[in-house]
Structure 1
Amino acid sequence: MKLSTDDKRMLEDLCRENGVSAEKVLKLLDTVRDYEFKERRTGIYDALREILKSEQGART
């Protein structure tokens, strides 16, 4: 997901304040965007669940 410099800085600040990984949030947003225009969104919850479970991009 392409973000402006200001948006990226804001996301990183918010994630840091809340103990959330910015990389993980970006992965979640990318996944939602990938499913956005599909007629059926079968599998989206499984995909999101896998991202949340993953160690990569865990809390910073």
Structure 2
Amino acid sequence: MKLNDDDKKLLAELCSQHRVSFDKVIKLLDTERDFEFKERRTGIYDALREIVNSSSIEESKA
């Protein structure tokens, strides 16, 4: 997903405040964007679930 610098900064700040992985949110947004214009969005929930359930470096530090 293409975000301008101000949007990235705001998103990073919100992710930090809510203890959510910035990288994971970007991956979720990118995945939704990939499925956005498909006639059938088959597989989107599995793709999103895989991202949510994946561990990240940030989470293992917590």
* TM-score (normalised: structure 2): 0.88
Partner of 1:33: 33
Q: Where do 1:10-21 residues align within 5 Å?
A: 10-21=10-21
* TM-score (normalised: structure 1): 0.91
Provide structure 1 residue ranges, at least 5 long, that are not aligned to the other structure: none
Please tell me the root mean square deviation across aligned C-alpha atoms, in Å. Answer: 1.5
Once superposed, which parts of structure 1, at least 4 consecutive aligned residues long, lie more than 3 Å away? 57-60
- Alpha-carbon separation, structure 2, partners of 1:41 and 1:3: 23
Quote the sequence identity (%): 62
- Once the two structures are TM-superposed, the CA of residue 57 in structure 1 deviates from its matched residue by 5.8
State the structure with bigger RCO (CA 8 A, min sep 6), 1 or 2.
1
Provide structure 2 residue ranges, at least 5 long, that are not aligned to the other structure: none
Q: Does structure 2 conserve the Cα–Cα contact (< 8 Å) formed by 1:12 and 1:22?
A: yes
Tell me: CA distance 1:6–1:33, structure 2 relative to 1, closer, same or farther (3 Å). same
